[in-house]
Amino acid sequence: MVKAMIKKLRADEPGIPLKIQNFIGGSWVDAGDGGVFETINPARRDEVVAVVAKSTREDIDRAVQAAREAYKSWRLVPAPKRGEILFRAAEGLVREKERLGRLVTREMGKVIAEGLGDVQEAIDMAYYMAGEGRRLSGETVPSELSGKDAKSVRVPVGVFALITPWNFPTAIPAWKIFPALIAGNTVVFKPSRYSAAAASELVRIIAEAGLPDGALNLVNGPGGDVGEYLAMHPGIDGVSFTGSSAVGISLAGRLTSEGRKVSAEMGGKNAIIVMDDADLGLAVEGAIWGGFGTTGQRCTAASRVIVHKAVYKEFLERFIAAAKKLTLGDGLDPKTDVGPLVNDGQMKKVQHYIQIGVSEGARLVTGGQHCTHGELSHGYFFEPTIFADVTPDMRIAKEEIFGPVVSVIKAQDIDDAIAIANGVDYGLSAAIYTNSVNYSAKAERDIEAGIVYINASTIGAEIQLPFGGIKKSGLGGKEAGGMGGALGFFTHVKVVYRDFSGKLQKAQMD
């Protein structure tokens, strides 16, 4: 199904598909057997965004070998010099932000403001990690013996496989690539098959910043074939994965048993708590943004809103009214509030959960339909959906839907609200709206989540702090941040003792 007219990298005109190749050992190359697949615009199903190389196992073998060879010299490049390359990559992203943001929107559907924000997050991460090239700090401590010093240093791990999802096609790869590189590792990167063009452009910009051949490699293809083979490849020293809990838990178990590093960022069933003293206007805004931003296709989406019984009715009325005002449409239209779901599979999954919610006895108060009228009929558009009178034991209140579906649950008091929030298998992000310092302190202490927001939605993590969850939301190292996050994951700690006394000293005995 390859179109007659295909443009090479840098083109992004609608109607002219990009040609996306693999990037191995510093060269853009087709798949070994010439195989390809397509990415489409989910707002216009008949528009092919890119024709993409479908990697073979031999392609992956070559990419891993290129990364292993490059590691020999890249690990020895002084970290400040590695940082200079990352600074140039950041500047390249700044120059091309507008075009890249539009490509993100065309390929995965999020509205243009979010597409630009996706790229901005990559810019932020590039600058931050570039600066870390002059830190990468260890410790220097006094020895208990004379004529001896003691310190710890951070050293690279080796070759990393980085496997990323489609919902943040520029930001999430940047979260992984930049800390891996600044730490002295080399990379084989496999993006989602649904957002290969945006990922490819990120790789191009980093490579053009002066990265040595083989330090960063790109292989494209389906997760079940390409991703699985790459993650378990014997030439890989560590894996950073973002995706479903089922896949992440499986990978983590297998890789850990082989003594390899693994970080798995997975799903979420995140809650916003709205207390009786909350600013309801602000809470409604937070619930709208958390529930329907990125069409609910975020691991941090606020798919549950837990509301104190005293304000439940008023909050629900205002929440429904606000949801009904949202405009669906092509994300490139600045008037659009909510874009499409990414593909037919996501559409069917959301429809399935609507049926489950109704069958469980939840009250469908707005939305619930695939949009089939006018221009919306050409894409995977789904109405912002709210279920009321949801109980914590319902499947729609416990399972990740990954779409524009929010369950509203009534709580008796702060303790009940926190118990409901904690009563799921996930623990990524949570929020509370309250003007009580006591309520907020209790929530901060007792909510089981990697991220807690106070008077803000469940969305909005910043790159200078670690990102990640607990329970079935996260395993292994964290994303973003410094030594407590990504840099800690992408390095080993090496302790060095130097004895310059000129005699044998026996610690703890001398």
Catalytic residue selected from 114, 121, 132, 265:
265
Contacts of 107 (CB under 8 A, 6+ apart): 39, 41, 49, 50, 169, 194, 195, 196, 197, 198
Backbone Cα Rg of the chain: 24
**Whole-number Å distance between alpha carbons of 7 and 50:** 9
The single-letter code of the amino acid at 492 is H
Catalytic residue selected from 107, 201, 299, 400:
299
**Whole-number Å distance between alpha carbons of 490 and 37:** 32
DSSP string, 315-359: HHHHHHHHHHTPPBS-TTSTT-SB---SSHHHHHHHHHHHHHHHH
The answer for 294, left when phi > 0, alpha when psi is -120 to 50, beta otherwise, is left
- Catalytic residue flag (residue 371): no
**Dihedrals phi, psi of 362, to nearest 5 degrees:** -70, 155
**Whole-number Å distance between alpha carbons of 300 and 121:** 15
The single-letter code of the amino acid at 459 is I
Q: Which two tokens stand for residue 27?
A: 């060269």
Task: Tell the residue number behind the tokens 């670690």, with chain if given.
Answer: 466
**Whole-number Å distance between alpha carbons of 197 and 329:** 22
Residues 265-301, buried b or exposed e (16+ Cβ, 10 A)?
Answer: bbbbbbbbbbbbebebeebbbbbbbbbbbbbbbbbbb
DSSP string, 132-157: HTTT---EEEE-SSTTEEEEEEEEE-
**Whole-number Å distance between alpha carbons of 32 and 22:** 10
**Whole-number Å distance between alpha carbons of 241 and 267:** 12
**Whole-number Å distance between alpha carbons of 155 and 495:** 10
Contacts of 273 (CB under 8 A, 6+ apart): 306, 307, 411, 414, 417, 418, 421, 430, 431, 432, 433, 434, 443
The 8-class DSSP code of residue 479 comes to: B
**Whole-number Å distance between alpha carbons of 101 and 357:** 35
Task: Tell the residue number behind the tokens 């914590």, with chain if given.
Answer: 392
- Catalytic residue flag (residue 265): yes
* Residues labelled catalytic: 265, 299
